[in-house]
């Protein structure tokens, strides 16, 4: 028998796209990633995207704009497009600075030369490749810090060499006015647990990915309330009761997830406070969620079905 925790773990791996390929560390705070993902779900944030990218907005949509759309516009202006990039690109390119998180960039050695040895063509190619790799890959991973490429001669007077290198660094810092970054946004230290956000996010994306499913079916797929699973029903009336109860529970969880998304669009996360945001349109949301997430959900669904079949056959 395959335990539900194992199934959940497998689903999590497909639903959440980690940024491991970028080599990014996010200060061990998972809230940043969920902030990004809930922004992707927010209809108010989508509206701000339309406004600030000068997309045509019809009269009906204009009338539905939330009263605090200027606040949402400010958040969008700060964090930008979250649909055409993945978390790693968004974090290194934009978000980490807004949260005042330092990525601790490291020095990249381009080439070292021994004294009194001619520089051959192979060494020149090595240096060119190293510079290109740093500027196009390494610097991106480190959040695109300011940089200066120096050729430092290793003379006999080490102190003199250090002074020259330090002077060059001082000039570069002065040129680009590099100062300590200060946070313009801050993640809330609430009691909301990671699993709560995972469950909320997964429910919204599944609601979007499988529009033909009823709320009670979504609830059974995600084991929202095992005690109300219809497979345990003892009569037709019991089935109807369980379905109704499950649908109510899923509806409440969807509303909670929607509040997380709409609060994120206003720079408050994670928060489930009531907010006068835009209503969710799941058919429209299907066009907004990045395609890789939709593929992930479909694959996760197949895994879930296989695991459920295995569970049923071995029970």
Q: What is the pLDDT of residues 121-150, one digit of tens each?
A: 887 788 788 788 777 776 766 666 777 887
CB 146 within 8 A of CB 178: yes
- Dump pLDDT digits (tens) for 167-188: 877 777 777 655 555 556 788 8
Tell me how far CA of residue 221 lies from CA of 62, 247, 260, in angstroms: 37, 12, 22
CB 168 within 8 A of CB 150: yes
The CA-to-CA distance between both ends of the chain, in Å, stands at 6
- The whole-angstrom separation of Cα 128 and Cα 138 is 14
| Percent with pLDDT over 70 in the chain | 74
pLDDT beyond 70 at 114: yes
Q: Token pair of 290, please?
A: 């990045």
Alpha-helical regions (H) of 176-290:
194-209, 215-221, 236-264, 282-288
Ranges of each domain in the chain: 4-101+186-314, 121-175
Residue 39 or residue 137, greater confidence = 39
pLDDT beyond 50 at 14: no
How many H helices and E strands in the chain?
A: 15, 0
* DSSP three-state, residue 122: helix
- The whole-angstrom separation of Cα 41 and Cα 263 is 11
Residue in the block written with tokens 């406004």: 51
pLDDT beyond 60 at 1: no
pLDDT beyond 70 at 92: yes
pLDDT beyond 60 at 23: no
pLDDT beyond 50 at 4: no
pLDDT score of 87: 86
């Amino acid at each position: 028998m395959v335990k539900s925790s194992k199934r959940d773990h497998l689903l999590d791996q497909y639903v959440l796209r980690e940024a491991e390929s970028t080599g990014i560390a996010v200060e061990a705070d998972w809230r940043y990633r969920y902030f990004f993902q809930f922004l992707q779900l927010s209809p108010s944030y989508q509206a701000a995207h339309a406004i600030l990218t000068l997309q045509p907005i019809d009269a009906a949509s204009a009338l539905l704009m939330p009263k605090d759309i200027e606040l949402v516009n400010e958040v969008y202006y700060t964090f930008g497009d979250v649909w055409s990039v993945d978390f790693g690109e968004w974090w290194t390119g934009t978000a980490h600075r807004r949260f005042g998180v330092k990525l601790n960039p490291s020095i990249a050695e381009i080439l070292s030369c021994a004294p009194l040895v001619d520089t051959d063509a192979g060494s020149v190619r090595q240096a060119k490749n190293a510079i290109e790799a740093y500027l196009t890959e390494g610097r991106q991973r480190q959040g695109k810090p300011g940089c200066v490429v120096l050729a430092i001669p290793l003379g006999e007077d080490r102190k003199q060499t250090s002074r020259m290198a330090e002077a060059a660094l001082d000039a570069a810092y002065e040129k680009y006015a590099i100062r300590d970054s200060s946070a313009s946004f801050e993640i809330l230290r609430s009691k909301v647990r990671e699993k709560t956000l995972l469950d909320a996010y997964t429910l919204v994306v599944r609601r979007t990915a499988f529009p033909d499913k009823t709320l009670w079916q979504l609830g059974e797929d995600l084991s929202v309330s095992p005690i109300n699973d219809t497979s345990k029903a003892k009569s037709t009336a019991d089935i109807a009761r369980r379905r109704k109860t499950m649908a109510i529970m899923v509806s409440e969880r969807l509303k909670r997830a929607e509040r997380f998304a709409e609060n994120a669009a206003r720079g408050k996360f994670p928060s489930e406070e009531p907010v006068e945001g835009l209503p969710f349109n799941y058919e429209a949301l299907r066009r907004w969620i990045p395609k890789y997430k939709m593929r992930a959900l479909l694959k996760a669904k197949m895994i879930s079905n296989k695991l459920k079949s295995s569970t049923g056959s071995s029970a």
